[in-house]
Structure 1
Amino acid sequence: MNQSDTKSQFKEKLCKPATPGGDTQWAFVVLPKSASAKLPRRGRTTVKGSVNGHSFQATLEPDGQLSHWLRLNEELLETAGLNTGDIVSIEIMAVEAEPEPEIPADLHEALQAAPEARAVWDNTTTIARLDWIHWITSARQSKTRIKRIINACDMLASGKSRVCCFDPSGYYSKAFSAPKPAD
């Protein structure tokens, strides 16, 4: 797939999340299915683009409906002078190479304590590491997250480079969805 094949332009309403969580303000848009379909994967995907002419790079999240949603952080909202409810012009394109994901502290600690698992982790692809992290961080309860970290280290130590039984799009498991809008 050529990078230019992933390019899309569209207009969408900027939504305020019903439960924003945290201290910072942010907003989101759900991508049209036609734009999402051009991207290389239904799971987390990093794009570069612009909103009303202001550049950004962000990782799109799956919406569980074979599309994605985009979180616009407070800095971009302020820089671009955007408010929730605005209809914004967005242009996106998949990045050439997925950036290396940040390893959560608890997973990093577990990998450091399991050299066999760490060796397989280091030899997997960036996309595989992104899926492992997504699987672990998508746990809704802390005990599930802990169990997934233990299982990940066991699977990696046994030579398994891809997480099994995980639908990164959330479509089949309904594990993911876009935030609910406040309006």
Structure 2
Amino acid sequence: MTVYEGKLKSQFKAKLLRPAKPGCDDQWSFVLLPKDASAKLPRRGRTTVDGTINGYLFQETLEPDGQRSHWLKVSTTLRKAAGAEVGDTVTLEIAPAKKEPEPEVPADLKQALAATPEALKVWKATTTIARVDWIHWIVSAKQAKTRAKRIADACEMLADGKKRVCCFDPSGFYSKALSAPDVAEP
């Protein structure tokens, strides 16, 4: 893996932040991307980048912050490999991944697609980015009932030949459904 040269590459320094509500894995941290670095990326939604953090190579998927920019979740493994601690300022270099990796399909969606052959056929004919958006729309549901409805709606829309999710803003800018984590107080 190499980081792109030229105008798509961004280099910047950022502070490693601790999320206020880390969930069950309380060891991860995150970085907010500067707007100019995010602007060089091909989309405001989820985007995979090749990069380095303090010189350590990685490939990760950036999340939209709802402000037309992105944030990067830094796992404990990546943070330690980069020789950094929460609160440190790290040096990052990022560029769009040459090929967007195939997303992991959640088990409940996989089961629903398998039960709807017409939807599965269209699903397989969509682009990787379209599948990323479908999955992101489904997993961003805050309640199990909403998630189940989105899966049923996705299967219906796909079975009708729709290759893109019609009702989801992957950047979170217009719906504010997506945002960067709140920062924990020091």
Is this a same-fold pair by TM over 0.5?
yes
Question: Aligned to 1:5, what secondary structure does the other structure show?
Answer: coil
Which is further off, 84-93 or 4-13?
A: 4-13
Task: Please name the residue that 1:143 is paired with.
Answer: 145
Unaligned runs of 5+ in 2: none
Q: Which residue of 2 aligns with 1:67?
A: 69
What's the secondary structure of 2:7's corresponding residue? helix
- Which residue does 1:47 correspond to in 2? 49
Q: 1:35 to 1:133 in 2, by over 3 A?
A: same
- Per the TM alignment, residue 24 of structure 1 is displaced from its structure 2 partner at its CA by 5.1
1:19 maps to what in 2?
21
Q: Secondary structure at the match of 1:110?
A: helix
Tell whether the 8 Å contact from 1:136 to 1:148 is kept in structure 2 after alignment. Answer: yes
Q: How far 1:165 moved relative to its partner?
A: 1.7
Matches within 5 A, 1:63-142: 63-142=65-144
Q: Distance in 2 between matches of 1:74 and 1:13?
A: 15
Give 1:81 deviation, angstroms: 1.9
Q: Distance in 1 between matches of 2:134 and 2:113?
A: 12
* Cα distance in 2, alignment partners of residues 15 and 155 from structure 1: 39
Shift of 1:4: 4.0
**For 1:6, what is the secondary structure of its paired residue?**
coil
Instruction: Give the TM-score, by structure 1 length.
Output: 0.97
Q: Which amino acid aligns with 1:15?
A: L
C-alpha offsets along residues 140-169 of structure 1, whole Å, 9 cap, x if unaligned? Answer: 111000000000000000101100021000
SS of residue in 1 equivalent to 2:59: strand
Residue by residue, what CA displacement relative to the aligned partner does 1:8-58 show, whole Å, maximum 9, x if unpaired?
Answer: 000011101111112351110110000000000000000010111111110
* 1:86-113 CA-partner distances (Å, limit 9, x unpaired): 0110000001111110000000000000
What are the superposed Cα offsets for residues 104-143 of structure 1, whole Å, 9 maximum, x if unpaired? 0000000000000000000000010000000000001110
| Counterpart-to-counterpart distance in 1, 2:115 and 2:173 | 34
> Residue 179 of structure 1 corresponds to which residue in structure 2?
181
Q: What TM-score do you get using the length of structure 2 for normalisation?
A: 0.95
Amino acid at match of 2:165: V
Residue correspondence of structure 1 range 150-169 to structure 2 within 5 A: 150-169=152-171
Alpha-carbon distance in structure 2 between the residues aligned to 1:9 and 1:45: 17
Unaligned runs of 5+ in 1: none
CA RMSD of aligned residues (A): 1.2
Distance 2:12 2:61 in 1: 18
Which residue in the other structure is 1:36 paired with? 38
The answer on whether the counterparts of 1:3 and 1:95 sit within 8 Å (CA) in structure 2 is no
